[in-house]
């Protein structure tokens, strides 16, 4: 009897594929706004450039109200000093840092002062929804080591632009434009009047829900490539390639970023044989334990650190 029943066929309308293609048509008048030019490698940097340290670090932050807080930081460990020999020379040091933070939806003020006389200040002010002013400054007791920088950022519908001015007659500008829903292209120029140097660079970034690929080249000789694959919501794999065609220096690295329920683990290994691991463990609400390790067998340089963060 089954053989007597005619097979059921489904007729697909001829215009169905045309309708699907029409739905997938790109609206170039409504492209997404790209990220700032200076942050195009941010996913790769999160995995491959953790804030490693050596020795002991203790950070405490106390909120006085919803907008104002004070911070205290103590660090003890060796500091590298310049040397012409192949071996790394370190001297024991310790620092205390006092900070004040004011964070508002439109204004952010951050200040830090250290026992060695350094003063760091950072300001971010959103004048409008599209225009932001940023300022960074560092004052030191050492001659010619203090510096300051102003950034003026404008966020368009599908582009971002930035103008920079700093001490030493430093000027810079960048522009980043979305050319498709996933691809952004842009460039930057700079002029350092004090050193009589100028440069121009170009960059591209391709991003989907599962990956981010970035390429950057500059007239200073730098070529930077990075790729991040999002394996899942908690696991990311990253790689980068750095090449300077003037000095012929080449470095490549691969790393990972693993977010667990109570901790975050990041690590990498590069072509020079340097291995890095960084662990952030949440012990309780507002209490984090940090482990940092960096091993460089070629330079015979070994760095291990642990710390606590409260607040």
Q: What is the CATH number of the domain that holds 298?
A: 2.40.160.10
pTM above the 0.75 mark? yes
Which residues fall within 8 angstroms of residue 144, CB to CB, at 6 or more apart? Answer: none
Neighbours of 186 (CB within 10 A): 23
- The predicted pLDDT at position 137 comes to 95
What number of other Cβ atoms are within 10 A of residue 81's Cβ? Answer: 10
Beta bridge partners of 248: none
User: Is the residue at 12 inside a domain?
Assistant: no
Residue 49 falls inside a structural domain? yes
> Among 96, 84, 56, 42, which residue's Cα sits nearest to residue 303?
56
Instruction: Give the integer Cα–Cα distance in Å for 68 and 63.
Output: 6
Whether 68 maps to a domain, the answer reads yes
Residue 124 lies in a domain: yes
Determine the pLDDT at residue 88.
Answer: 72
What domain count does the chain have?
A: 1
Would you say residue 258 lies in a domain?
yes
CA distance 147 to 191: 16
Is 200 contained in some domain? yes
Distances (CA, A) of 174 to 46, 107, 168, 274: 23, 23, 19, 33
Per-residue pLDDT for the chain (311 aa), expressed as one digit of tens each? 444 445 545 455 545 444 444 446 888 888 999 999 999 999 999 989 988 999 999 999 999 999 999 999 999 998 888 776 667 788 888 999 999 999 999 999 999 999 988 999 999 999 999 999 999 999 998 888 899 999 999 999 999 999 999 988 899 999 999 999 999 999 999 999 888 889 999 999 999 999 999 999 999 999 999 999 999 999 999 999 999 999 989 999 999 999 998 999 999 999 999 999 999 999 998 899 999 999 998 888 889 999 999 98
User: Is residue 18 situated within a structural domain?
Assistant: no
Indicate the DSSP class of residue 67.
Answer: S
The dihedral over CA atoms of 256, 259, 260, 263, expressed in degrees to the nearest 10, equals 100
Residue 140 phi/psi, 5-degree rounding, is -135, 165
Query: Could you list the residue range(s) of the whole structural domain that residue 251 is in?
Result: 37-310
Q: What is the structure's pLDDT at 3?
A: 47
**Whole-number Cα distances in Å, 299 to 55, 88, 243, 250, 292:** 19, 7, 21, 17, 18
pLDDT given at position 270: 94
Residue 80: predicted pLDDT: 81
Please indicate, yes or no, if residue 26 is contained in any of the structural domains: no
- 78 Cβ contact list (under 8 Å, min separation 6): 54, 55, 90, 91, 92, 93
Residue among 278, 275, 272 at smallest CA distance from 250: 272
Tell me the C-alpha distance between 214 and 228, whole Å: 9
Task: Please give the structure tokens belonging to residue 118.
Answer: 């350094």
Tokens 């990075």, located at residue: 226
Q: What is the pLDDT of residue 15?
A: 52
- Give pLDDT, residue 194: 82
Return the pLDDT at 2: 45
């Amino acid at each position: 009897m089954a053989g007597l029943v005619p097979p059921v066929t489904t007729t697909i309308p001829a215009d169905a594929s045309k309708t699907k293609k029409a739905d997938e048509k790109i609206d170039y008048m409504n492209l997404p706004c790209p990220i700032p030019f200076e942050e195009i490698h941010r996913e790769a940097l999160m995995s491959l450039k953790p804030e490693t340290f050596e020795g002991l670090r203790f950070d405490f932050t106390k909120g006085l109200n919803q907008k104002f807080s004070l911070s205290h930081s103590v660090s003890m460990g060796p500091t590298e000093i310049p040397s012409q020999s192949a071996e790394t020379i370190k001297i024991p040091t310790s620092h205390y840092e006092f900070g004040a933070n004011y964070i508002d939806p439109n204004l952010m003020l951050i200040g830090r002062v250290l026992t060695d006389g350094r003063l760091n200040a950072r300001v971010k002010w959103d004048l409008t929804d599209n225009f932001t002013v940023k300022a960074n400054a560092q004052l030191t007791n050492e001659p010619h080591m203090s510096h300051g920088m102003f950034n003026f950022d404008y966020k368009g519908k599908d582009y971002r632009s930035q103008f920079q001015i700093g001490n030493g007659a430093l000027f810079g500008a960048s522009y980043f434009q979305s050319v498709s829903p996933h691809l952004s292209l842009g460039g930057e120029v700079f002029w350092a009047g004090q050193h009589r140097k100028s440069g121009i660079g170009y960059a591209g970034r391709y991003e989907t829900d599962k990956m981010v690929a970035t390429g950057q080249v500059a007239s200073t000789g730098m070529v930077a490539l990075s790729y991040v694959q999002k394996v899942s919501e908690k696991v990311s794999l990253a790689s980068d390639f750095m090449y300077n065609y003037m000095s012929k220096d080449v470095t490549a690295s691969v790393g990972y970023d693993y977010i667990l329920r109570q901790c975050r683990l990041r690590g990498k290994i590069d072509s020079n044989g340097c291995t890095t691991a960084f662990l952030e463990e949440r012990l309780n609400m507002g209490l984090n334990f940090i482990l940092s390790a960096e091993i460089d067998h070629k330079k015979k340089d070994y760095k291990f650190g642990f710390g606590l963060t409260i607040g």
